Each structure stands twice: as structure tokens, then as C-alpha cells.
A and B are shown apart, each in its own frame.
Chain A
């Protein structure tokens, strides 16, 4: 998903800089999206003017290219190791030659911005390419585009082509700003068999906020959702020796859950945050199934539990839980360590004493809005304690409420315990964010999922074991075949279901598969190889968060190597746009912001200096 906007930096220049074309072209092949945003502008003023190009793209995307064309001369981007690019950038800055690009983080998006001075009468074309793997959530894939041009654009279009070998089962596109039939007629969407298409081409008149207005009503979210047919639980695709295995079985019963909610009720939760937490928990209680077991652990300076042990979600217990939740009040400081350890110990004990069903799965969901500041407050020690207490038996999910917390710590803590962290943004919908998260993990269909391939047939496999498979999600494993000429191979997916163990077997005829995929002109290049590289880098970066010493160095080297090879702007690389004949004359551009303080500082650096003649531009794309 992405958003885009064109803007002059100074409002008074708006009429001088005409953005006459903006095109967003998305090609999605087997969930892997390749997006190109192209904007063309001309400076109609008598003097040089500055033009900005802003695109909002998903945090999960990697920029793969950015080019700038000024009066027909194109300056391509090159991905370099961050340190190398940074030195070049700093040199340029010291020479006063910079024009910059910054990325800032939002909820789902991060912003790519670049400004360039354009001589009088000159034209400039910005082209940004980024790629991402669309993840399945609650039964559908979602592409999110932010649309926000600052002026009417003569030639504005969004074109999305989707190709899914399994066949498309539903496709929808909705824009928050389409509130009338007139603009609605500019949107078309269709799908048939394996192909889907969405097009949005509003004319100038359709873009006007009123018939005589000069401002645009295109301002908001453009969201495309789709899903694929699932006649069989798995689908394997192979092209040029790389394979991807999608696994999403349907029709299985939900595995009963033993869920412990570890809730921060420290003083900082005062006011709306505690109200929203109560609201969310009350809603979640409505959705808990009777076969599930639960408990609430509240932590401030101390730890309070609703019940001494986990209890079944009977109607009576749920009613009692509602009363308990309604009376949650904020107080004291933040003792994350003891809160978590109490919850974990309760789950371990329930399992040991067989007070929860044998075929059930345990989950810890922690919500906090701040850093630990009482009891054991050293993050590293808390991580050590939690890792040891959980012992790989169940996942921990961390919800970071608001901004005043060490999100990197929460993320590391969750990742090393097979879960993940999620930010809950302080906003009117925080309760819905909490509830939405719970819905994602509410329906485990399989536990201890392991995807197995024939030994010695596969190389460079991405993650192939998962604690849980949740209804509406999808497991994606990619890898490389040792022998490209092999005729077939077999993949087994093993997991524990609610009542039985299951082994799904997928046999793949490679020749047939490759033939079928080659016939499709919708497919862009070696998409499976890039998908594999994307997934591998993503997983290496996650692992790196909890690694130390030589292991961290090794993971960094692997991720960097792949980022450079596949031209991905990741936290380890930067993209530098270089004037071809003058390699010293460069300028740094973007950054990939992370969630932690270190990255935030980097992300916040913006460079913008005086006009440089277009004959010697230099730009820098950074990813952190």
C-alpha cells in the first residue's frame, strides 16, 4: 500500500509548479506486490522552483528503486551499505549541496519525501518503486494506498493488476473520499479466474471539490482487498528454481485457548487509555468461547489477579469477569516483570496440573503503555526471565499503548517468545485496535506447525515452524531448489489440531507448474525469487533484533548481502541517486524508520538546503 502526494514546499509556488501526471501502477503476483509511483511536474515560473515528491508506503515495504529525471536526463538509484552511503551523504552536506528526503513513521505507513529544485521551464519526473508481500489477515489481503495530491492533476490514475494462480475469490476497492456517484464512476474493479483489475482514473472535473473549485477532493485512503480460492489448503509455486509455499487450511475446528491478559494499570494509563482498555476487554469477553480458559493479571507497582487460577469461560465466569473489568482502575508504577511472570507461571501450572484441556493452546497477551520502572526494570533481565519462564511453550504478544514506551524492548520480548508486538495508537479507536488484535489470535486452528520438505532438495528455506496457525491468516514459506531440473517434490505440513494431529501433503510436479506459470503475461520477472529474498531479509532482521556478538554480525552480513543483491532499501542499506559521470556528486535521500529511539532519531533528520543547479543533483535514499 502506498500513498502519494505532490506538493510544492511553499504554498505560493503552487501555481508555478504544475503536477500534470501522477500514476500508480501496482502489479501483484501471488501476494507479492510490485508498485511504481510516477509523478511528472513542470516549473512554469520564471525562476527555479522547488518541487517535492511525497509518497506514503507501508512500513512492511522495501523501496527498490527511485529515479529522478530532469529535462530528459535520468539519475538512477543505487542501493549501498548504509555506512558507505552515509559518508557520501555527509560529504555532500558539508559542501552545502544537499536536497533531502525524509521518512517518518505513522500507523501503517512511512513517508518518502524528496525535494528538488527545477529550473524555469524544466520538467521533472519522479519514479519510486517498492515491493512488499501482502499478508493475509482475517481472510483477506489488503493493499493500502494513501491518496493525497495537493492540486488537481490532469492525468491521475491508479492501476492495479492482480494475478493469483489459485484464482481470485473476491476483490473489492474502496476509497474513503468517494462519496458521490460522479467520482465513483471513475473507479472500476473486476476479477475473473486468476486475474483481477482495479482502475481509478478521475478526470479533472471529477477531482474538483465543487464544480467551480480549484482544490481536489482526492484525499484519503484507497484500499484494495481480495482473497484467493482455497480448493486445497496449500499452494506451491515454482519459477526458475525458487519456490513459494502458501498454506491456509480451512474448515478446521478452533483449538481451545488458555489466555492470560496481562494488563498495565499504572498511573500513566489514567483517563482515556484505561477507559479504552476496559471497553476493549469487555468486547473481547463477548467473543471468548466457552471452551476457552482465561484470567486477568493486572500490574502496577504490584500484581493483582482476577482469579488464582485459569477459569473456564462459562457464562457465569464471563459475567463475573465483566464486573471485574468494569472496576479496573489505574494506580501506581509499572512492574512488567512480575506481571508477566505471574501470568506465565499460571499457564505453566494449569498445564502441569491438567486443569486445562490437554488439546488446548496457551497465549499471553500483555498490554502496557510505558517502561518498567519498579521491581525488575532492566529490559535485558526481564527478557531473560520471561524467556526462561515460557521456555518456548507458548507465544507472548505485546501491545504497546501510545508512544511513551520502549517499543524495541516489547518487540524483542515478543519475537523471542514466538509472538509479535503491535502498537496501539492513542486515538479514538484504540479500543477497536485492541479488539482487532484479539480477533487475529482468537482462532488458532493448528499449533506447532512445521513445514517439511525432502532433505537435500531445498536450500535457503525461510521460516518453516510456527507456534500457531490462525484462522484467516496464511503461512508462507519460500526457498530454493537444489536441483532446478528435478521433476517433483513433496511438502508436508504437520500440526496439532483441536482434536487430532494433521499432516497435509502437497505434491508438486515442477515441470507442469513452471509451464503453467510461464504462460501468464501478468507475472513480473522472477517474482518468487524476490519474494523469497524479501521474506528472508525480513526474517533475518527480526532475528537480528535479539542476537548478540558474532551471531548478530552474521545475521547482519546476510541481510545486507541480500539487500544489496536484490536492491532493497532496508534498515541496513541506503539508496543513493548519483549523477552518472560524477560519483562524488551525490545526495542522500530516504530513511526507513524503525520503532525505537535510535531509528527515530535517524528518521527525523531532514536536509534541505539552497538551490543546486540541476546539472549536479545528488540524492540519497536511506532505510532504517
Chain B
């Protein structure tokens, strides 16, 4: 799956891919202050799974945990399940439903599930649907943190670590053969990284078409821009 990091204080973005086996669960956010944890499980195309180079991977399941509330929300491409203590509520992506309690709300419609906690912390999970009978591609999910400034700067995880300011500089811009893919050098976290200008799509506002976002693509599973290496973020299960 692709990760897009809109860097605070800069009108620019960093992006990277994490290439892992389908079934792998990645820690996206862990915020010790709010008690929120978000993990995502990877799914892969149904095509040639032996050829990992050609295989595309996506988020297939998202698990959101709010420990203080004893609340777990599991979003898959088929259903949305709320585990509220021992009680469990299950909804389909065909439902249009708003679930509200004093401490959180979940809004589900056929395109997105929006989970909000208290004042301002909001996650949006988008369902990307492919043609039902497509023999290769699967439905997949997109996960967005809205108003990430409401999250604590002590957060970590593949996304969480970017909830605090990140300084980077880009230099040595080199147009290369393809003018749309400018190569450059990024100085970030005391690393000098070879990056490529690319475009990803942000589907928060337009679920069907998305909005083009220009970003500096960091190769090798985001190595250098993420703390440690990507395998540090692999966890054993969704919750």
C-alpha cells in the first residue's frame, strides 16, 4: 500500500510504499496519550502471487482500538464491526447508519466509514470497490487521519510518527528522462535519500476520482524517512 504524508508546516508531501506479504499487519498509529491504536492488514491482488514485483498490495482490513473506551472497530471490505466491551454490532457497507454514543460516533455509508472520538479526532476509511467479477483486483480500503493535529505528538507507527513536525529539504533536482518524474535528494532525519517526484491520489473528498497529490517518493519501503525499518512496524494481529 501507498502512504502519503502531508508534512505539517510544509505545503508538500512525502510518500512511500510498503511492500509486504498479504496477511501482514502493520502498525499505522499508536498514540499513548489518547489510547488510540490503528493497525492495517495487507491484501494482495488475486493475480500471480508468486511474482511479488508485479503484485499490488492494499489495505484490506483496518483495526481501530480505543483502549480507554474498551472499543474496537474492525473495518474490512465486507463489513464494519464494533466491539464495544463484550457487545458486538455488525454493519454492512450497504448500510447507511450513524452510530453515536457520548464518546464516539461512527458514520457508515456505501463509500466510507468515518470514526470520530471526542472533539476532533476523526479517521476515515474509504471502500474502494472494483468490478465485482474482476478476476484480479479486490475491493480494498483507504485510511485517512483527518485533523491529525488533534493526535498527540507522542504517537508512533507508520503514520503516527508523522504527527509531529518533520523537517526535510529537497535538493539536486534532476529531470531525468521522464519530465514527470523528477529525481532529487532529500535530507531528512539526518539521512540523504534519493527521492522521485510522483503523484498519488487523495480520496478523502472525492471517493471516486480522488485528487492528485504531488509528493516526494521515498524508495525501499520508506527507509530513511520512517523511524527504523518497515519490518519494525509489523505486528502479530489486527488488535
Binding site for B on A (CB under 8 A): 231-233, 249-253, 497-507
Contact = CB atoms under 8 A, between A and B. Distances in A.
Contacts of A250: 90
The 8 closest A-B pairs by CB, nearest first: A251-B90, A253-B87, A232-B94, A505-B96, A503-B98, A500-B101, A499-B84, A500-B99
Given A252-B89, A499-B87, A504-B96, 8 more contacts: A232-B94, A232-B95, A233-B95, A251-B79, A498-B89, A500-B101, A501-B101, A504-B97
Given A252-B89, A253-B84, A501 B96 contact: no
Consensus secondary structure, chain A interface: loop
B89 A233 contact: no
B88 interface: yes
B170 to A, nearest CB: 46
B96 A253 contact: no
Nearest to A255: B87
B85 interface: yes
Contact of A501 (B82, B85, B94, B100): B100
A504 B81 CA distance: 16
Contacts of B92: 231-232
A499 B101 contact: yes
Interface of B: 79, 81-82, 84-85, 87-92, 94-101, 109
14 contacts: A232-B92, A251-B81, A251-B88, A251-B89, A252-B90, A253-B89, A497-B89, A497-B99, A499-B85, A501-B99, A501-B101, A502-B97, A502-B100, A505-B98
A231 B94 CA distance: 7
B89 A505 contact: no
Contacts of A252: 89-90
Contacts of A499: 84-85, 87, 89, 101
Contacts of B89: 251-253, 497-500
Contacts of B100: 500-503
B132 to A, nearest CB: 13
Contacts of B98: 502-503, 505
Contacts of A497: 89, 99
A250 B90 CA distance: 7
Nearest to A254: B87
Among A231, A233, A250, A251, max chain B CB count under 10 A is at: A251
Contacts of B95: 232-233, 249, 504
Contact of A500 (B84, B90, B109): B84
A562 to B, nearest CB: 33
Contacts of A498: 84, 87, 89
A230 to B, nearest CB: 9
A505 B88 contact: no
Nearest to B71: A499
Contacts of B79: 251
Nearest to B105: A500
Contact of B99 (A231, A232, A502, A507): A502
A507 B87 CA distance: 28
A448 to B, nearest CB: 14
A232 B92 CA distance: 7
Given A500-B84, A500-B89, A233 B101 contact: no
A383 B81 CA distance: 44
Contacts of B97: 233, 502-505
Nearest to B90: A251
A541 B97 CA distance: 34
Contact of A507 (B84, B90, B96, B101): B96
Contacts of A232: 92, 94-95
A231 B109 CA distance: 13
